[in-house]
Amino acid sequence: MIDVEKIRRDFPILGREVYGKPLVYFDNAATTQKPRCVIDSISEAYCNENANVHRGIHFLSQHATDLMESARDKVRQFIGAGSTEEIIFTRGTTESINLLASSFSRAFLNKGDEVIISGMEHHSNIVPWQIQSEIHGFKIKVIPVLDNGELDLEAFKTLISDKTRLVSITHVSNVLGTVNPVAEIITEAHSHGIPVAVDGAQSVPHIKVNVQELGADFYAFSGHKIYGPTGIGVLYGRKELLEQMPPYQGGGEMIKRVTFEKTTYNELPYKFEAGTPDYVGSIALAKALDYVQSIGIDNIAGYESELCNYAIERLNSIPDIRIIGNAGHRSAVVSFLVGNIYPSDMGTLLDRLGIAVRTGHHCAEPLMDRMGIPGTVRASFAFYNTKAEIDTLVAGIERVRKMF
């Protein structure tokens, strides 16, 4: 079970005030706050462990390398990957998908081929494919979103053709909270021999993810959304596929041998990690994953689902509220609009009450167009949030509503 008061004491920032009011932080889908153990691990790394990794014979370099490589193994274990060769450190989900789009396209995509994405993707799972499609001439097809915020799986089946080379979809929508049935989508795609990439930015922090059980061929997530530091993220890729894909960037670390005539590339995963990696970030990410495991991902999922249901129930008591997305299976995100109040007005006034929510298109403009709205107010939850904070949010919305 979750002991919220104890957990909250692990997060120094949760004790602060904003405009003289206790901070109510409901912007967890954008980034999560950091527990003391993660903050301490960054300080410890620079105070005691710092040296560039992988290329030093001296004690500190080897020590930092060991810490970074054990962090890689922690990530492997956390997402249930088979081998550390399949865990590539990146700057975050965005870089993971850009790496994938660039490298996968060069290896496997030609003019006339097709990549399927969905209508609820974050821009970071749309634009990298558009950039590559301009270079390689493949087509992007889009799985439609139903009115309730679920994907139209029947339409998905009809989009698959003998030209489909990849399906790339989000596990959890950062706007609607919809948990997509990725296992089902993967099974369908695999029955046609098509690999599937999953954007796990909003899933890994909230629900149990096992890439091998899901059958995902690629899986991306960001450290900062799972209580780790900014600037570190992960791309999991199946070894057989990664081995056939060319490097994303060139430089130190990713080579075996360089001559002016020809360069040979390093083995996995280093082939995809050019330059000095953010080893401090990797080490702190491993600490964050340890912290999450100490609470238990199933406990987290259960508690957050309770919070989310409570929030929906309380929000529904507000006249004129419209909750956007009503999927059967959802995660810790609620998007809404109240009457004709513009989301940014609502967000600004809630902010004055110490309540941090996000407003706007949430980097999902095509989804906003599909829903026929310019943006939403989004409250997104973490295991350190409380029902009392949701009550504060609801009271705040009521107050703002009365001002309009």
- Residue nearer to ligand PLP on the CB measure, 170 or 376: 170
Q: Which residues contact 155 (CB under 8 A, 6 or more apart)?
A: 143, 144
Contact flags string 20-49 toward ligand PLP, x per CB under 6 A: ---------xx-------------------
- At closest approach, how far in Å is the CB of 111 from ligand PLP? 28
Distance, CA of 79 to CA of 289 (rounded, Å): 10
What stretch of H or E contains 257? strand 255-258
CA distances from 272 to 232, 254, 303, 340 (A): 14, 6, 37, 48
Q: Does 93 bind ligand PLP (CB under 6 A)?
A: yes
Active-site residue among 37, 47, 308, 363? 363
3-state helix, strand, coil in the chain (%, to 5): 45, 20, 35
Phi (first) and psi of residue 209, to 5 degrees: -125, 125
Residue appearing with tokens 């948990």: 179
- Residue nearer to ligand PLP on the CB measure, 2 or 363: 363
Q: Which of 32, 33, 41, 94 binds ligand PLP (CB under 6 A)?
A: 94
Residue appearing with tokens 């809630």: 350
Nearest to 167 by CA among 123, 200, 198: 198
Q: Does 216 bind ligand PLP (CB under 6 A)?
A: no
Classify 367 as helix, strand or coil.
helix
- Per CB under 6 A, the segment of 36-44, 88-96, 176-184, 209-217 that binds ligand PLP is 88-96
- Residue nearer to ligand PLP on the CB measure, 54 or 122: 122
CA atoms within 13 A on the CB side of 361: 16
- At closest approach, how far in Å is the CB of 339 from ligand PLP? 27
Do 311 and 336 contact (CB within 8 A), yes or no? no
Q: Which of 34, 54, 122, 287 binds ligand PLP (CB under 6 A)?
A: 122
Q: Does 278 bind ligand PLP (CB under 6 A)?
A: no
Active site residue 363: yes
Q: Does 170 bind ligand PLP (CB under 6 A)?
A: yes
What stretch of H or E contains 321? strand 321-324
Q: Does 118 bind ligand PLP (CB under 6 A)?
A: no
Q: Which of 222, 266, 331, 359 binds ligand PLP (CB under 6 A)?
A: 222
- Residue nearer to ligand PLP on the CB measure, 122 or 330: 122
Q: Does 168 bind ligand PLP (CB under 6 A)?
A: no
Q: Does 92 bind ligand PLP (CB under 6 A)?
A: yes
Distance, CA of 214 to CA of 216 (rounded, Å): 5
Q: What tokens does 13 get?
A: 């920032």
Which residues make up the interface to ligand PLP (CB under 6 A)?
Answer: 29-30, 92-94, 122, 124, 170, 174, 199, 201-202, 222
Catalytic residues: 363
